[in-house]
Protein backbone atom coordinates (compact mmCIF):
# COMPACT_ATOMS: atom_id res chain seq x y z
CA UNK A 1 0.00 0.00 0.00
CA UNK A 2 1.44 3.43 -0.94
CA UNK A 3 0.72 6.98 0.14
CA UNK A 4 2.50 7.51 3.40
CA UNK A 5 4.66 10.25 4.83
CA UNK A 6 7.68 9.24 6.79
CA UNK A 7 7.97 11.01 10.14
CA UNK A 8 10.19 10.49 13.14
CA UNK A 9 9.31 10.29 16.85
CA UNK A 10 11.92 11.33 19.36
CA UNK A 11 11.61 9.05 22.39
CA UNK A 12 11.73 10.21 26.01
CA UNK A 13 15.47 9.51 26.33
CA UNK A 14 15.92 12.48 23.99
CA UNK A 15 18.25 10.42 21.76
CA UNK A 16 16.40 7.55 20.10
CA UNK A 17 14.18 8.28 17.10
CA UNK A 18 11.58 5.83 15.80
CA UNK A 19 10.39 5.84 12.18
CA UNK A 20 6.68 6.50 11.81
CA UNK A 21 4.82 5.82 8.53
CA UNK A 22 1.77 8.09 8.41
CA UNK A 23 -1.03 7.10 6.01
CA UNK A 24 -4.25 8.89 5.18
CA UNK A 25 -6.03 5.56 4.94
CA UNK A 26 -5.23 1.88 5.23
CA UNK A 27 -7.18 -1.35 5.57
CA UNK A 28 -5.71 -1.85 9.06
CA UNK A 29 -2.51 -0.55 10.64
CA UNK A 30 -1.98 -3.97 12.23
CA UNK A 31 -2.33 -5.65 8.82
CA UNK A 32 0.15 -3.18 7.28
CA UNK A 33 2.57 -3.68 10.17
CA UNK A 34 2.40 -7.43 9.68
CA UNK A 35 2.95 -7.10 5.91
CA UNK A 36 6.13 -5.16 6.67
CA UNK A 37 7.41 -7.90 8.96
CA UNK A 38 9.14 -7.20 12.23
CA UNK A 39 12.70 -6.49 11.16
CA UNK A 40 12.80 -3.01 12.70
CA UNK A 41 11.00 -1.16 15.43
CA UNK A 42 8.63 1.28 13.72
CA UNK A 43 5.17 2.81 13.92
CA UNK A 44 2.32 2.69 11.42
CA UNK A 45 -0.23 5.50 11.89
CA UNK A 46 -3.34 6.04 9.80
CA UNK A 47 -6.04 8.72 9.82
CA UNK A 48 -8.66 6.06 9.04
CA UNK A 49 -9.01 2.32 8.44
CA UNK A 50 -11.33 0.54 6.03
CA UNK A 51 -11.01 -2.81 7.83
CA UNK A 52 -10.00 -1.99 11.42
CA UNK A 53 -9.80 -5.16 13.48
CA UNK A 54 -10.62 -5.81 17.11
CA UNK A 55 -10.14 -8.82 19.35
CA UNK A 56 -12.09 -12.01 18.79
CA UNK A 57 -12.50 -11.28 15.07
CA UNK A 58 -14.56 -8.15 15.62
CA UNK A 59 -14.51 -4.98 13.52
CA UNK A 60 -13.16 -1.77 15.04
CA UNK A 61 -14.91 1.48 14.11
CA UNK A 62 -12.16 3.55 12.50
CA UNK A 63 -13.16 7.07 11.48
CA UNK A 64 -11.62 10.26 12.81
CA UNK A 65 -9.62 8.70 15.64
CA UNK A 66 -6.06 7.60 16.26
CA UNK A 67 -5.15 4.27 14.67
CA UNK A 68 -1.60 3.15 15.20
CA UNK A 69 0.48 0.01 15.40
CA UNK A 70 3.90 -0.28 16.98
CA UNK A 71 6.15 -2.99 15.53
CA UNK A 72 8.42 -4.62 18.11
CA UNK A 73 11.01 -7.12 16.86
CA UNK A 74 11.20 -10.17 19.15
CA UNK A 75 14.98 -9.79 19.29
CA UNK A 76 15.78 -7.33 22.04
CA UNK A 77 12.31 -7.43 23.60
CA UNK A 78 12.84 -7.91 27.33
CA UNK A 79 9.19 -7.97 28.43
CA UNK A 80 7.23 -11.22 28.31
CA UNK A 81 4.87 -11.14 25.27
CA UNK A 82 2.08 -12.11 27.67
CA UNK A 83 2.36 -8.63 29.21
CA UNK A 84 2.38 -6.60 25.99
CA UNK A 85 -1.34 -5.80 26.11
CA UNK A 86 -1.03 -4.74 29.76
CA UNK A 87 2.00 -2.60 28.89
CA UNK A 88 0.03 -0.93 26.09
CA UNK A 89 -2.86 -0.26 28.47
CA UNK A 90 -0.43 1.40 30.90
CA UNK A 91 1.07 3.47 28.07
CA UNK A 92 -2.34 4.72 26.92
CA UNK A 93 -3.40 5.62 30.48
CA UNK A 94 -0.14 7.47 31.11
CA UNK A 95 -0.49 9.39 27.85
CA UNK A 96 -4.11 10.25 28.73
CA UNK A 97 -2.99 11.43 32.18
CA UNK A 98 -0.70 13.90 30.43
CA UNK A 99 -3.81 15.26 28.70
CA UNK A 100 -5.65 15.49 32.05
CA UNK A 101 -7.81 12.40 31.40
CA UNK A 102 -8.33 9.53 33.85
CA UNK A 103 -8.48 6.40 31.69
CA UNK A 104 -9.38 3.14 33.44
CA UNK A 105 -8.33 -0.33 32.31
CA UNK A 106 -11.03 -2.87 31.61
CA UNK A 107 -9.14 -6.11 31.55
CA UNK A 108 -7.50 -6.73 29.34
CA UNK A 109 -7.54 -4.56 26.26
CA UNK A 110 -10.02 -1.73 26.72
CA UNK A 111 -9.47 1.72 28.16
CA UNK A 112 -12.61 3.33 29.53
CA UNK A 113 -13.37 6.95 30.24
CA UNK A 114 -16.33 7.50 32.57
CA UNK A 115 -17.34 3.87 32.09
CA UNK A 116 -17.39 3.90 28.30
CA UNK A 117 -14.81 2.56 25.86
CA UNK A 118 -12.38 5.15 24.58
CA UNK A 119 -9.63 2.89 23.31
CA UNK A 120 -9.06 -0.70 22.22
CA UNK A 121 -5.77 -2.58 22.03
CA UNK A 122 -4.95 -5.54 19.78
CA UNK A 123 -1.55 -7.22 20.23
CA UNK A 124 -0.62 -9.77 17.60
CA UNK A 125 2.45 -11.90 16.90
CA UNK A 126 4.30 -11.63 13.57
CA UNK A 127 5.43 -15.04 12.32
CA UNK A 128 7.50 -16.31 9.43
CA UNK A 129 8.65 -19.85 8.63
CA UNK A 130 11.21 -19.35 11.40
CA UNK A 131 8.58 -18.79 14.07
CA UNK A 132 7.64 -15.59 15.87
CA UNK A 133 9.86 -12.72 14.74
CA UNK A 134 8.06 -9.91 16.53
CA UNK A 135 4.85 -8.35 17.78
CA UNK A 136 2.47 -5.66 16.62
CA UNK A 137 0.69 -3.58 19.22
CA UNK A 138 -2.38 -1.98 17.65
CA UNK A 139 -4.06 0.90 19.47
CA UNK A 140 -7.24 2.69 18.43
CA UNK A 141 -8.52 5.79 20.26
CA UNK A 142 -11.89 7.36 19.51
CA UNK A 143 -11.54 11.07 18.83
CA UNK A 144 -14.70 13.10 18.67
CA UNK A 145 -14.21 15.06 15.47
CA UNK A 146 -17.02 12.93 14.04
CA UNK A 147 -20.01 11.50 15.93
CA UNK A 148 -19.86 7.85 16.91
CA UNK A 149 -22.45 5.65 15.18
CA UNK A 150 -25.68 5.21 17.19
CA UNK A 151 -25.03 1.56 17.97
CA UNK A 152 -21.74 2.52 19.67
CA UNK A 153 -22.67 5.70 21.50
CA UNK A 154 -24.07 3.85 24.59
CA UNK A 155 -20.93 1.80 25.16
CA UNK A 156 -18.18 3.91 23.59
CA UNK A 157 -16.95 7.44 24.04
CA UNK A 158 -14.54 9.84 22.38
CA UNK A 159 -12.35 12.76 23.40
CA UNK A 160 -12.39 16.03 21.51
CA UNK A 161 -8.96 17.07 20.24
CA UNK A 162 -7.61 19.33 17.53
CA UNK A 163 -5.56 17.74 14.72
CA UNK A 164 -2.43 18.91 16.55
CA UNK A 165 -3.69 17.50 19.88
CA UNK A 166 -4.50 14.20 18.20
CA UNK A 167 -1.02 13.93 16.72
CA UNK A 168 0.55 14.81 20.09
CA UNK A 169 -1.51 12.12 21.85
CA UNK A 170 -0.54 9.53 19.23
CA UNK A 171 3.14 10.39 19.63
CA UNK A 172 2.86 10.38 23.42
CA UNK A 173 1.25 6.92 23.41
CA UNK A 174 4.19 5.61 21.38
CA UNK A 175 6.73 7.27 23.70
CA UNK A 176 4.98 5.86 26.76
CA UNK A 177 4.76 2.39 25.21
CA UNK A 178 8.49 2.34 24.50
CA UNK A 179 9.11 3.36 28.15
CA UNK A 180 6.62 0.90 29.58
CA UNK A 181 8.04 -2.17 27.82
CA UNK A 182 11.27 -1.47 29.71
CA UNK A 183 9.51 -1.40 33.09
CA UNK A 184 9.51 -4.44 35.37
CA UNK A 185 6.50 -6.79 35.18
CA UNK A 186 5.77 -5.94 38.84
CA UNK A 187 5.58 -2.21 38.11
CA UNK A 188 3.40 -2.76 35.04
CA UNK A 189 1.00 -4.93 37.01
CA UNK A 190 0.95 -2.51 39.95
CA UNK A 191 -0.08 0.29 37.58
CA UNK A 192 -2.71 -1.95 35.94
CA UNK A 193 -4.06 -2.77 39.40
CA UNK A 194 -4.24 0.89 40.41
CA UNK A 195 -5.98 1.84 37.17
CA UNK A 196 -8.27 -1.18 36.92
CA UNK A 197 -12.00 -0.64 36.62
CA UNK A 198 -12.58 -4.35 37.14
CA UNK A 199 -10.88 -5.38 40.39
CA UNK A 200 -13.24 -5.64 43.33
CA UNK A 201 -16.27 -5.97 41.05
CA UNK A 202 -18.44 -8.87 40.03
CA UNK A 203 -17.90 -9.92 36.41
CA UNK A 204 -19.28 -12.41 33.96
CA UNK A 205 -16.56 -14.23 32.01
CA UNK A 206 -16.74 -15.92 28.62
CA UNK A 207 -14.24 -18.03 26.70
CA UNK A 208 -12.44 -21.22 27.69
CA UNK A 209 -14.37 -20.93 30.97
CA UNK A 210 -17.75 -19.30 31.53
CA UNK A 211 -19.23 -18.05 34.75
CA UNK A 212 -19.74 -15.21 37.20
CA UNK A 213 -17.55 -14.16 40.11
CA UNK A 214 -15.58 -11.48 41.92
CA UNK A 215 -12.45 -10.13 40.19
CA UNK A 216 -9.79 -10.11 42.90
CA UNK A 217 -6.40 -9.60 41.27
CA UNK A 218 -3.96 -9.94 38.39
CA UNK A 219 -1.66 -12.95 37.98
CA UNK A 220 2.08 -12.43 37.25
CA UNK A 221 1.28 -13.06 33.56
CA UNK A 222 -1.44 -10.41 33.51
CA UNK A 223 -4.33 -12.88 33.79
CA UNK A 224 -7.45 -11.87 35.71
CA UNK A 225 -8.00 -13.80 38.94
CA UNK A 226 -11.68 -14.39 39.63
CA UNK A 227 -13.26 -16.05 42.66
CA UNK A 228 -16.08 -17.71 40.81
CA UNK A 229 -19.48 -18.28 42.39
CA UNK A 230 -19.30 -21.85 43.60
CA UNK A 231 -15.86 -21.44 45.15
CA UNK A 232 -13.39 -22.10 42.32
CA UNK A 233 -10.59 -19.58 41.73
CA UNK A 234 -10.19 -19.06 38.00
CA UNK A 235 -7.31 -17.29 36.20
CA UNK A 236 -8.53 -15.86 32.92
CA UNK A 237 -5.86 -15.53 30.22
CA UNK A 238 -8.13 -14.92 27.24
CA UNK A 239 -11.76 -14.55 26.32
CA UNK A 240 -13.56 -11.55 27.71
CA UNK A 241 -15.53 -10.23 30.62
CA UNK A 242 -18.65 -8.18 31.14
CA UNK A 243 -19.08 -5.73 33.99
CA UNK A 244 -22.82 -6.44 33.92
CA UNK A 245 -22.84 -9.93 35.38
CA UNK A 246 -26.54 -10.40 36.07
Q: Does 60 bind ligand BTN (CB under 6 A)?
A: yes
Contact 71, 38 (CB under 8 A): yes
Which residues are bridge partners to 79 per DSSP?
none
Task: Pick one of 69, 86, 157, 196: the residue that binds ligand BTN (CB under 6 A).
Answer: 69
Task: Pick one of 43, 52, 111, 156: the residue that binds ligand BTN (CB under 6 A).
Answer: 52
CA-CA distance, 228 to 210, in Å (whole number)? 10
Q: How many residues does the chain have?
A: 246
Measured from the CB atom, is 151 or 246 closer to ligand BTN? 151
Q: Does 29 bind ligand BTN (CB under 6 A)?
A: yes
Residue nearest to ligand BTN (CB): 120
CA-CA distance, 146 to 160, in Å (whole number)? 9
Residues in CB range of 230: below 8 A, 6 or more apart: 211
Task: Pick one of 7, 36, 41, 54: the residue that binds ligand BTN (CB under 6 A).
Answer: 54
Which residues are bridge partners to 126 per DSSP?
134
Contact 85, 108 (CB under 8 A): yes
Measured from the CB atom, is 55 or 195 closer to ligand BTN? 55
Measured from the CB atom, is 45 or 215 closer to ligand BTN? 45
Measured from the CB atom, is 71 or 199 closer to ligand BTN? 71
Task: Pick one of 88, 91, 113, 122: the residue that binds ligand BTN (CB under 6 A).
Answer: 122
Q: Does 121 bind ligand BTN (CB under 6 A)?
A: yes
Q: Give the shortest CB-241-to-ligand BTN separation in angstroms.
A: 13
Long-range contacts, 141-144 (Cβ 8 Å, 24+): 141/65, 141/66, 141/92, 141/169, 141/170, 141/173, 142/61, 142/64, 142/65, 142/117, 142/118, 143/64, 143/65, 143/66, 144/64
Site for ligand BTN in 132-151 (CB under 6 A): 138-140
Site for ligand BTN in 173-192 (CB under 6 A): none
Amino acid sequence: MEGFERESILLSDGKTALSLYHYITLDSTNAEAKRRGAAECAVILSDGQTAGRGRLGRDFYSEGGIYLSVILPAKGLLLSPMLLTSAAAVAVCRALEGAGLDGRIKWVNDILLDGRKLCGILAEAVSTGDGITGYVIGIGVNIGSTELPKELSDIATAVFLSEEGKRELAYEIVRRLMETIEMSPEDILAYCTAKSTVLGRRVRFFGAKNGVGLAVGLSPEGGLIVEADGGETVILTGGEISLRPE
